[in-house]
């Protein structure tokens, strides 16, 4: 008895402390970034103004006035939204087929898809730029960014959906077949409702990845299709680092995602731990 009580007191203290420590370690850079965004560029680098400083909105106003912030933001929203939609549009049927009608080669296909993520992006930078700029003429278009973001995320999305679909007992699908459901009805009325949590967290994760993607969005755009990543990148100006400005831009770029994640927290946790809880 005594041992049990001790253990529960221990875990009552230990786990929250650990959780908070981890949370703070992860949260600190974001906190710092937000804090810095309210400092002038001059204050930002001065140690004496680390915590104590006069807050200013100068960086944000500057960002909106001089940097055309809303255009970058709009591009981010458009490309992330369309890329996520398109990825799911392709990913759901693909994962469905592999989960419910597996063939001998399904495992190989899954591995192959994942292996495409092992290719270093830098290795294809030159061909990609050359191809899109000089041959396809797609450089700096929304279309190109949407396609690139989709292709980058497709393997992960298919893997995730595949795992969630696999959780659905085969018999339920077969019961649907006995009830005479069409393929589309099976996806709509049985698979998606049962994998809803998983689907939501996959979509959310995909959206976050798209939003934060910087390697390609920075390199394959100039103005028209440039996203917030490009804006952040652009503020690493050659004249030196403007930490205040950079932080403001970064905060504005990260903000929506944090808010979105906050609202979808329940979905996310449920989706990501679906298998474990069951």
Partner 1 sequence: MAGLILRNVAKSYEATKVIESIDLEIKDGEFVVFVGPSGCGKSTLLRMIAGLEEISSGTITIGDQIVNEVAPAKRGVSMVFQTYALYPHMTVYKNMAFGLKQAKTPKDEIDQRVRNAAEILEISSLLDRTPKALSGGQRQRVAIGRAIVREPEVFLFDEPLSNLDAALRVQTRIEIARLHERLGTTMIYVTHDQVEAMTLADKIVVLRDGNIEQIGSPIELYRNPSNMFVAQFIGSPKMNFFDSDDLTDAGRALINSRADILGIRPEHFIVVPTGSGVIQGKPNLVEPLGEYALVHCETVRGSPFIVKTTDPENIKKGSVMSFDVDPAVTHRFDQLSQGRIV
Which of 18, 19, 172, 214 binds partner 1 (CB under 8 A)? It is: 172
Kind and range of the H or E run holding 249: helix 243-263
Number of residues binding to partner 1, judged by CB under 8 A: 17
| 127 near partner 1 (CB under 8 A) | no
CB-side exposure of 226: number of CA atoms within 13 Å? 18
> Nearest Cα to 153, choosing from 80, 75, 222, 227?
80
Q: Give the shortest CB-268-to-partner 1 separation in angstroms.
A: 20
Query: Who contacts 244 (Cβ-Cβ below 8 Å, separation ≥6)?
Result: 36, 37, 39, 40, 41, 43, 44, 58, 59
Decide whether 97 or 194 has the Cβ nearer to partner 1.
194
Task: Give whichever of 126 and 278 is closer to partner 1, judged by the CB atom.
Answer: 278
Is-contact 37 244, C-beta < 8 A? yes
**Minimum distance between the CB of residue 84 and partner 1, rounded to whole angstroms?**
24
Whichever of 54 and 101 has its CB closer to partner 1, that residue is: 101
- Interface region with partner 1, contact rule CB under 8 A, candidates 24-32, 88-96, 172-180, 259-267: 172-180
**Which of 154, 148, 142 has the alpha carbon at shortest distance from 87?**
154
Does residue 123 touch partner 1 according to CB under 8 A? no
Among 190, 257, 260, 272, binds partner 1 (CB under 8 A): 190
Q: Which residues bind partner 1 (CB under 8 A)?
A: 169, 171-172, 174-182, 185, 189-190, 193-194
């Amino acid at each position: 008895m005594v041992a049990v009580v001790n253990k529960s007191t221990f875990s009552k203290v230990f786990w929250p402390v650990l959780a908070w420590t981890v949370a703070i370690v992860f949260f600190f850079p974001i906190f710092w970034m937000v804090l810095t965004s309210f400092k002038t560029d001059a204050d930002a680098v001065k140690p004496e103004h680390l915590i104590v400083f006069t807050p200013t909105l100068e960086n944000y106003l500057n960002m909106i006035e001089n940097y055309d912030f809303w255009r970058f933001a709009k591009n981010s929203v458009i490309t992330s939204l369309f890329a996520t939609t398109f990825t799911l549009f392709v990913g759901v049927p693909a994962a469905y087929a592999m989960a419910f009608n597996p063939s001998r080669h399904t495992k190989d296909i899954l591995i192959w898809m994942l292996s495409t993520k092992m290719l270093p992006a830098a290795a294809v930078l030159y061909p990609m730029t050359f191809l899109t700029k000089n041959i396809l003429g797609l450089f700096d278009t929304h279309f190109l960014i949407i396609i690139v973001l989709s292709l980058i995320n497709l393997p992960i999305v298919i893997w995730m959906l595949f795992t969630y679909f696999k959780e659905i007992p085969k018999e339920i699908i077969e019961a649907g077949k006995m009830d005479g459901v069409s393929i589309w009805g099976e996806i709509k009325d049985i698979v998606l409702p049962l994998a809803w949590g998983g689907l939501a967290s996959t979509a959310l994760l995909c959206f976050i990845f798209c939003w934060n993607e910087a390697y390609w969005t920075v390199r394959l755009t100039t103005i028209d299709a440039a996203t917030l990543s490009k804006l952040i990148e652009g503020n690493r100006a050659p004249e030196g680092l403007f930490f205040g400005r950079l932080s403001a831009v970064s905060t504005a770029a990260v903000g929506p995602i944090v808010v979105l994640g906050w609202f979808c927290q329940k979905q996310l946790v449920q989706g990501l731990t679906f298998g474990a809880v069951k």
